[in-house]
Structure 1
Amino acid sequence: MLKQQTKLRVRLYARLSKDDGDADKESNSITNQLQMLRYNAKEKGFEVIGEYVDDGYSGTTFNRPDLNRMIKDAMDDPEPSGIMVKDMSRFGRNNAMFMYYVEEIFPNNDILFIALNDDVDTRFDENEMMPFKSIMNEYYARDTSKKIRSVKKTTALSGGFCGSFAPYGYVVDPENKRKLLVDPDTAPIVKRIFELSKQGNSVHQIARTLCEDGVLIPRAYRAMKNGTLETSTGFKFPTDWVAKNVKMILENQVYLGHMVSHKTQTKSFKNKKPVAVPKEEWIIVRNTHEAIIDEETFELVQKFISVKKQPNKTGRPNIFVGLVKCPDCGRNMAFSNPNGREPRFRCRTYVRNSNLCTTHAISYEALQQIVMSDIQKHIKNMEALGDQFIQEMHELSEKGGSKKIKQFEKDLEVAEKRIAEIDSVIMKLFEQNALGKISDERFEKMSSAYESEQKELAQKRDELRTKIRAEEKKTQSTNQFLETIRKYETVTELNRSMLVELIDSIYVYQAEGTGKDRKQRVEINYRFLAGSQCGIA
């Protein structure tokens, strides 16, 4: 029970957020709330001992700075006191939390609660409607949240921008807040990040380069544009780029000119913590704004950032990173110089367990020579044979592509046939379960195994379809290969740019023979050619 005192000491609390809508925006403004609270405190003869404001915070969360500070001050106060708000919704729209504070925490700590517009005053026992009003406040928050989500989804589906701030490299169009414009200050930095990745730099190396060059991180750049760089507390070091930030930029399709939305969502209208949405559920609308990065560069970069770049002890960069693979196990080859010997590539599976694969070892220098020689061979043939070479390349591409496509189509047919068979099996299991011929437990176990197999097959089917489309595209891209290779007519030394522009993958086979009789097949798959080229080490 509250101790008797001659004059009630109260703390005033005001809150406003986007959740409160526009209809009641003026009457709910922080200024109007405080004016109303001060006036009523004076009329009732209360002593105001503090004013607390949370502007821009949702009522569904009770983790608000000034709310927490006010409750702490009231609980630490040795004398009885009260908390006064305009209405119950200002204190919060989460019914469980509201009732917990008002009926448990406050009475146990000699704290009164007064909501003026709702006629709630815990000094008296006439508060029967308080629980019902609290439930309605929560319902309002739920309904508002549902409407906001619906509006955002509609905006996203139409290709409109609905984020809190523009992605790094863009600004929001001042005449249309749903449209993005290229930011002339940061777009060149985005291009530089992609170029550094294309050259073989890891996300950690790119972050270190940007940091050394004093480039502001995205959050610091926004603060600078808002004039709050010196006072902002959202970061400690304004140029402290980290690999995670770089990777997010490199993976963002927004730089292709596509609007990508619904990548995260909150757990519920009460819990505002963002959770990742599965990639297949993202909303992507193509060609909604000007692109900063072209499709070819973006695709190349995706291929290389998906490769985990292990630091090596060779003291030299590996220009082949992400390209050299083992044809038997399909894994990327490891680059090292064991026992201080000449740097070389070995099968990564073999390195971890020599019983699972063979070495496929090849020296770094030998691989460089094979690849460079093959590229120069194409350049010389192109110069010497002219149109005849172009025709031969078309024929080679079509022949190689046709062979691969036929194999992929055969594998696809097998996968689709098995998927259909599993559908039939699961249907029969269901019928047997319905007739009581097999138990529910047995049905669950068997159907689960079949569904798991079907899921793997569906994934394999999608991969095969993608490979078929890629090979079909390659057979039509011979001219693009010739245009690209012409750029390197005068180059005498292999470099990273040449590799990523021309080559899709390099497969190194297990060597045969020893000494002078040692031979090793190296398969070079060019990006724009369906046929493979081979060299001998």
Structure 2
Amino acid sequence: MKAAIYCRLSKEDEYKVGESESIQNQKSMLVQYAIERGFDIYQIYSDEDYSGIDRDRPAFNAMIQAASEHRFDLVLAKTQSRFTRDMELVEKYLHGKFIEWGIRFIAVVDHVDTDDRANKKSRQINGLVNEWYLEDLSNNVRSVLDHKRREGQYIASFALYGYRKDPSAKGKLQIDPEAAAVVERIFEMTLSGIGAHKIAQILNSEGIPSPTAYKQRNGIHYKISAKNPNASLWSCPTIYQMLHNQTYAGNLVQGRHKKVSYKSKKTVWLPKSEWIVVPDTHEAIIDLETFERVQETLKNRARSGSNGMVHPLARKVVCGCCGSIMEQSGSGENRANGTRRRYLRCRMHQRAPERCSNKTCTDLNALEETVLQRIRTYVEDYFDPQKVDLPQRDDPAQKREQAKRAELRRLKGEVERRRKAIQELYLDKASGLIDAGMFSQMNQSFLEEVKQAEARILILETELGQQKTEREETEAQMQRVRQFAAVPVLTRELVVLLLHRVVVSPKDPETGKQAVTIEWNF
């Protein structure tokens, strides 16, 4: 009689490396049992780091396949729970398929034997107890993990892209400078109006490894699903998940989804109100203000154009007749500089002309220029660059600078006087007014005083030079403020920040003029 031996080590024993002693013990016991009873061992099947509820155990499924082909006559396991903890599988195989296939099942420790009809109820009770055990264990594990999440401990197996696990503090994150630079760049590109698809294209074209590829490149044993062969590339969903993840702003977000059941691997997303968010648990890669601006930008997101850029007024322009969003379209004509003419048309008129009569095609370039001029006018009326409070040096700092300059003038004067004194001293020696010994003593004293004064002069000139640099930096800051106040270009970020919407009315048939009304966010 041929016997298949099945061994399993619980997934909870992840700290064990390689083929554990527990597996070896199971094998030794079952091999000895088979030899004592004269069974021929067909094959030993072993699953390590798999839960008894898991239906995707590779060795288990290989054994079931071989059983269906009747390659052996019985299955040996240490206990029924080693075979499975799922009551449904107990009924399916022990009391169903194995009987059809003529396969006997023996659990050595439990004294389970499917040839013994009398202990069927015992097998069923064992199955129920095993399943209850798993359910209680699942609830306990979930409670412990939720407690750790609320304590601000990061419990995921792998650190979020942009971070690494702190080796000196369990459950804490620290910034990974290389990946963090990519995260910052993604947020910057989003604020500049580049769409997620274009961002992914840029990163892939530059050969920047995706989060999955980055983990693997750094020696992290991260498994790629066979269903996703392109996991090594950046994608839109990856970009969107990063842009919405508040963890990058220093607030740890966990518990966003959960398993539907301890018997299933399927997960469902939880409502945002049920997420566990703990603020200020780690250093932020993206400051909170920038993160919130990105969220506002994403709320107003629109499809990007052929160049991957979202035009600044996307989803902000509405029809003055029906209130529908006006969509971008091209005329097919090219300008002298090779660029295509762009227009906005009422979405409702295109789809249901009977509900909106606005068939005006609004020149998008002209509209963008009009909006930009309105913003500039608004800025000129309410913003004075000269009144911007730049970091000012305090009065004590100015007084210290004046004192240093006065000291510098005094020391330079003293150095000049000492050098003249040395010259006169030499003349006195040459005239015989003083002897050589006195000359040497006085000359040495004057030279020491000059040396000390010049050392102090060098320090003062260095410090005053740095203060001059500070004044130049202040002037440079003021120059940048003036440039921003001039609003040189209309950007998506600026539109989202300032404009609620732009209402465009149809052209007046007599004058050809088109009314444009801007509704501000303030």
TM-score (norm 2): 0.72
- The partner residue of 1:98 within 63, 67, 90 is 90
3-state SS in 1 of match to 2:264? coil
Partner of 2:215: 222
Q: Relative to 1, partners in 2 of residues 1:260 and 1:41: Cα closer, same or farther, differing over 3 Å?
A: same
3-state SS in 1 of match to 2:7? strand
Alignment-mate amino acid for residue 342 of structure 2: P
Does the CA-based 8 Å contact 1:200-1:321 persist in structure 2? no
Does the CA-based 8 Å contact 1:331-1:347 persist in structure 2? yes
Alignment-mate amino acid for residue 170 of structure 2: K
**How many residues were matched structurally?**
422
1:320-373 per-residue CA deviation (whole Å, 9 max, x = no partner) reads 334434567655431112464841223333332234445475321222222222
Cα distance in 2 between the residues matched to 1:298 and 1:358 = 41
Displacement after TM superposition at 1:145 (Å): 0.5
Q: Relative to 1, partners in 2 of residues 1:370 and 1:10: Cα closer, same or farther, differing over 3 Å?
A: same
Cα distance in 1 between the residues matched to 2:385 and 2:154 = 52
Q: Does 1:271 align with 2:264?
A: yes
Map 1:69-468 onto structure 2 (within 5 A).
69-78=62-71, 80-128=72-120, 129-226=122-219, 236-237=229-230, 239-307=232-300, 309-310=302-303, 312=305, 318-326=311-319, 331-338=324-331, 340=333, 342-357=341-356, 359=358, 362-381=362-381, 386=386
Alignment-mate amino acid for residue 368 of structure 1: E
Cα distance in 2 between the residues matched to 1:310 and 1:86 = 59
Alignment-mate amino acid for residue 509 of structure 2: T
Q: Relative to 1, partners in 2 of residues 1:173 and 1:120: Cα closer, same or farther, differing over 3 Å?
A: same
Q: Does 1:488 align with 2:487?
A: no
Displacement after TM superposition at 1:21 (Å): 9.9
Displacement after TM superposition at 1:308 (Å): 5.7
1:487-526 per-residue CA deviation (whole Å, 9 max, x = no partner) reads 52466443445545x5343312314633546241330525
Report the identity percentage: 32
Cα distance in 2 between the residues matched to 1:76 and 1:11 = 13
Q: Does 1:521 align with 2:504?
A: no
3-state SS in 1 of match to 2:505? coil
Does the CA-based 8 Å contact 1:327-1:507 persist in structure 2? no
Displacement after TM superposition at 1:32 (Å): 2.6
Partner of 1:456: none
Does the CA-based 8 Å contact 2:194-2:310 persist in structure 1? no
Partner of 1:417: none
Displacement after TM superposition at 1:62 (Å): 2.1
Displacement after TM superposition at 1:67 (Å): 0.7
Displacement after TM superposition at 1:294 (Å): 2.1
Displacement after TM superposition at 1:148 (Å): 0.8
Structure 2: runs of 5+ lacking an equivalent: 335-340, 389-477
Q: Relative to 1, partners in 2 of residues 1:356 and 1:278: Cα closer, same or farther, differing over 3 Å?
A: farther
Cα distance in 2 between the residues matched to 1:385 and 1:107 = 88
Cα distance in 1 between the residues matched to 2:247 and 2:231 = 24
1:417-440 per-residue CA deviation (whole Å, 9 max, x = no partner) reads xxxxxxxxxxxxxxxxxxxxxxxx
Cα distance in 1 between the residues matched to 2:283 and 2:320 = 40
1:53-94 per-residue CA deviation (whole Å, 9 max, x = no partner) reads 22222212323211111110122135x421111111111111
Q: Relative to 1, partners in 2 of residues 1:384 and 1:15: Cα closer, same or farther, differing over 3 Å?
A: closer
Does the CA-based 8 Å contact 2:304-2:310 persist in structure 1? no
3-state SS in 2 of match to 1:18? coil
Q: Relative to 1, partners in 2 of residues 1:40 and 1:385: Cα closer, same or farther, differing over 3 Å?
A: closer
Q: RMSD of aligned C-alpha atoms?
A: 3.4
3-state SS in 1 of match to 2:292? helix
Q: Relative to 1, partners in 2 of residues 1:354 and 1:164: Cα closer, same or farther, differing over 3 Å?
A: farther
Cα distance in 1 between the residues matched to 2:479 and 2:503 = 27
**Greater mean deviation of Cα atoms: 342-351 or 274-283:** 342-351
Does the CA-based 8 Å contact 1:250-1:301 persist in structure 2? yes
Displacement after TM superposition at 1:257 (Å): 1.2
3-state SS in 2 of match to 1:73? helix
3-state SS in 1 of match to 2:76? strand
- The partner residue of 1:12 within 5, 9, 15 is 5
1:298-335 per-residue CA deviation (whole Å, 9 max, x = no partner) reads 22322333456346579986233344345676554311
TM-score (norm 1): 0.70
1:276-316 per-residue CA deviation (whole Å, 9 max, x = no partner) reads 21222222222221111122322232233345634657998
Displacement after TM superposition at 1:259 (Å): 1.5
Partner of 1:503: 498
Displacement after TM superposition at 1:218 (Å): 1.8
Partner of 1:444: none
Structure 1: runs of 5+ lacking an equivalent: 1-7, 389-481, 531-537
Alignment-mate amino acid for residue 507 of structure 1: V
Cα distance in 1 between the residues matched to 2:491 and 2:301 = 20
Cα distance in 1 between the residues matched to 2:13 and 2:133 = 9
Alignment-mate amino acid for residue 124 of structure 2: P
Displacement after TM superposition at 1:230 (Å): 11
Find the structure with the greater CA-based Rg: 2
Alignment-mate amino acid for residue 75 of structure 2: I
Displacement after TM superposition at 1:162 (Å): 2.3
1:120-140 per-residue CA deviation (whole Å, 9 max, x = no partner) reads 122444524221111111110
